[in-house]
Amino acid sequence: MILINGKQTTTIEATDRGLHYGDGLFETIEVINEQPVFLTQHLMRLEAGCFVLKIPFPKKILLVSEVQQLCKDIAHGVIKIMLTRGTGGRGYRQPEVINSTRYIALHPYPHYPENYQQQGIKARFCDTRLGLNPLLSGLKHNNRLEQVLARSEWQDEVQEGLMLNINGDVIEGTMSNLFIIKNNIVYTPKLDQSGIKGIIRDIIIGLCHTHKISVQVIDMNVDFVRTADELFVTNSVIGLWPITKLQDKSYPIGEQTTSLIKYFNQFKQQGIEG
C-alpha cells in the first residue's frame, strides 16, 4: 500500500522531480508488531538530509501518523519513506515555492532465510566502483545508479557485494554498511567521499562505545578487509549479518561479532518495547 501526500494511490505525478532528477531522499524501516523500528533515528536522518538538499521537511507529526496508519495490523514488514522536491521548476531550477512530495509505502518483509544472522552469508567484491562526492556522501538520496549497477553483477550466488570507490577504498555493501574486526578492534569505513551512513551503522558504533569495545572509522583497502578476523554487514532490514565467506576465503563468526549481535538485538528489543 502506498500513500502519496496522505492519499492511497498507485501512481505519482509524472512531473515529479524525484523521477526526473532523483531529487529526493528515502528511508527503509523494519516494522515489527505494528512498530516502525528506530523511527526516531530514521526521521532525524531524513530531516538532516532535507537540510543539506534544501528540501522542505514536512511536519513530523504528519509523517509519523501516516507511517502508523500503514503499520496497523502488520506483524512484520518494511516501510519506505521517500521525500522528493515535488513538481515544478524549469529544468534543474527548482520552483520558488517547493511542496515536497511525501511517499510512504508498506512492503512485505523480504524472505531472507532466518539463519543468515546465525550462520552468516557469502559476499563478493563488486567491479562497479563508487564515485567520489563529498557533498552528497553519507546521504540516503535517490541518486542510486551506482548501487543498481553493482547489484546487477550477480544473482543469488552471494547475499551481498562489497563496493570500493575509485580510490580503491572499501566503502560499503550495495545495500549495507561494512564492519570488520581485527585484533579485537572494530573498524568501519569512513564515508566522507562515498557511501551512505546507515542508521544501524551509527547504532553499532554507539554500542561499541557503550560496551567499551574499541571502534575506529578509517579508510581501508581490500587487503585490510581480506585479512580481517571477522566481518559483518548491517542495515535496517537485515539488522546484522556476519560474512562467513568473502570471495574464496572463509571467516568465523567470532566472539566480537557474537557479542555485537547480542547487544544489537537487546537494543532493538528495548526500542520496540519502548
Judge whether 28 counts as a catalytic residue. yes
For residue 186, the minimal CB distance to a copy of itself (Å) is 26
C-beta of 94 vs 258, nearer to a copy of itself: 94
Stretch that binds a copy of itself, among 139-147, 205-213, 224-232, 242-250 (CB under 8 A): 139-147
The rounded Cα 236 to chain-centroid distance in angstroms is: 6
When asked if residue 30 is in the footprint of a copy of itself (CB under 8 A), the reply is no
C-beta of 48 vs 185, nearer to a copy of itself: 48
Separation between Cα atoms, residue 55 and residue 50, nearest integer Å: 5
Separation between Cα atoms, residue 179 and residue 177, nearest integer Å: 7
What is the number of other CB atoms lying within 10 angstroms of the CB of residue 57? Answer: 16
177 DSSP assignment: E
Of the residues 74, 175, 203, 213, which one makes contact with a copy of itself according to CB under 8 A: 175
The rounded Cα 41 to chain-centroid distance in angstroms is: 12
- Asked if residues 114 and 143 have their Cβ atoms less than 8 Å apart, the reply is no
- Asked if residues 168 and 221 have their Cβ atoms less than 8 Å apart, the reply is yes
Judge whether 30 counts as a catalytic residue. no
Separation between Cα atoms, residue 164 and residue 178, nearest integer Å: 11
Using alpha carbons, select from 164, 159, 175, 169 the residue that is nearest to residue 126.
Answer: 164
When asked if residue 157 is in the footprint of a copy of itself (CB under 8 A), the reply is no
Judge whether 27 counts as a catalytic residue. no
For residue 18, the minimal CB distance to a copy of itself (Å) is 5
When asked if residue 22 is in the footprint of a copy of itself (CB under 8 A), the reply is yes
Distances (CA, A) of 243 to 51, 73, 229, 249, 250: 35, 34, 11, 10, 8
C-beta of 130 vs 213, nearer to a copy of itself: 130
When asked if residue 140 is in the footprint of a copy of itself (CB under 8 A), the reply is no
Per DSSP bridges, beta strands 160-164 and 121-125 are parallel
Residues touching a copy of itself: how many (CB under 8 A)? Answer: 54
When asked if residue 144 is in the footprint of a copy of itself (CB under 8 A), the reply is yes
For residue 126, the minimal CB distance to a copy of itself (Å) is 11
Using alpha carbons, select from 242, 237, 197, 240 the residue that is nearest to residue 217.
Answer: 197
For residue 256, the minimal CB distance to a copy of itself (Å) is 28
Torsion sign across C-alpha atoms 85, 90, 91, 92 = negative
Catalytic residue among 146, 172, 174, 257: 172
For residue 22, the minimal CB distance to a copy of itself (Å) is 3
When asked if residue 23 is in the footprint of a copy of itself (CB under 8 A), the reply is yes
* Binding site residues, a copy of itself, CB under 8 A: 2, 4, 9-23, 26, 53-54, 82, 84-85, 90-94, 103, 105, 110, 128-129, 131-136, 141-152, 166, 174-175
Q: Which residues are catalytic?
A: 28, 140, 172
